[in-house]
Homo-oligomer: A and B are copies of this chain.
Amino acid sequence: MSDRPPTSPRQERWDRRMEVPLAVASAVYLAGYAVRVLARDQLPRAGVDLCLGAILGAWAVFVADYVVRLRLSGLRPLRFVRTHLLDTVVVLLPLLRPVRMVSLYDRVQRRRDEPRLSLYARVMVYSGLTVSLLGFAAALTVYHYEVDAPGASIRTFGDSVWWACATLATVGYGDMVPVTPVGRLVAVGLMACGLALLGAVTGSFSSWLIQAFTREDEKPGGGRGGDEGRPPGGFPGAS
């Protein structure tokens, strides 16, 4: 949200210090959840407990971070919840958390001082990674709820991933569809992600094109060089 109050230096320091721990906790949470869902029956007693421990531990980190942020903001709890709606949702549904790992990837790449990608490429990479992680989490959850449902068409984790891909691309073959209420709820969320992904793809393509055209407009005749056969502007095309 763009209307949140300005962050104080202490908050910023906290944000920067928690970046890595939160990303690690997110990865642990996702891994624990994945193992628990995918290896349900094969897992020994101790393994199940370990997974549960990892999940709960990661969750505890998220809650602690949320509470500290609430304190640092100096706001009343209800107002904090209202202005940090997304943070609140993410604390309650930590499966949406892995998205944080994306921003970490960007940060690491910047620290190594590698040349930055253009805005369009970054939007593509960002949305690609985000959507992959959310799609994986959704496939896990849907598989978890559908596998034992009577009359379900999603029977293996592979089916679930296939369904998630078809949904994210808004193709929607319909050969496999969730039939349980929770599965359908997750599916609706995934459809929203698919629409946003589509928006990101078409949006970045469109703005790249507009920029390329504007640039070509400004240097008339300049487009007649050697490399001109391919579209201008360094968009990642097949070469």
Q: Which residues of A contact B (CB under 8 A)?
A: 1-3, 12, 16, 86-87, 90, 96, 99-100, 103, 106-107, 110, 114-119, 121-123, 126, 130, 158, 162, 165-167, 169-175, 177, 181, 184, 187-188, 191-192, 194-213, 216, 226, 228-231, 234-236, 238-239
Contacts and interface: CB of A to CB of B under 8 A. Distances in A.
A198 B195 contact: yes
19 contacts: A1-B234, A3-B117, A100-B238, A103-B229, A106-B230, A107-B229, A110-B228, A123-B209, A165-B187, A170-B170, A172-B174, A195-B197, A196-B201, A199-B202, A200-B205, A202-B206, A203-B209, A204-B206, A210-B211
Given A90-B238, A172-B171, A172-B173, A2 B206 contact: no
A3 B209 contact: no
A174 B3 CA distance: 41
Contacts of A200: 205
Given A162-B184, A184-B162, A198-B195, A213 B209 contact: no
A150 to B, nearest CB: 15
A117 B229 contact: no
A118 B1 CA distance: 9
Given A123-B209, A194-B171, A231-B126, A87 B239 contact: yes
Nearest to A193: B169
Given A117-B3, A121-B2, A169 B195 contact: yes
Contact of A202 (B16, B119, B187, B203): B203
Contacts of A167: 171
Nearest to A233: B2
A191 B210 contact: no
Nearest to A130: B238
A171 B196 contact: no
A201 B169 CA distance: 15
A1 B118 CA distance: 9
Nearest to A84: B239
B165 A115 contact: no
Given A165-B188, A169-B170, A203-B209, 9 more contacts: A3-B115, A87-B239, A106-B229, A119-B213, A158-B181, A165-B191, A169-B195, A171-B171, A206-B210
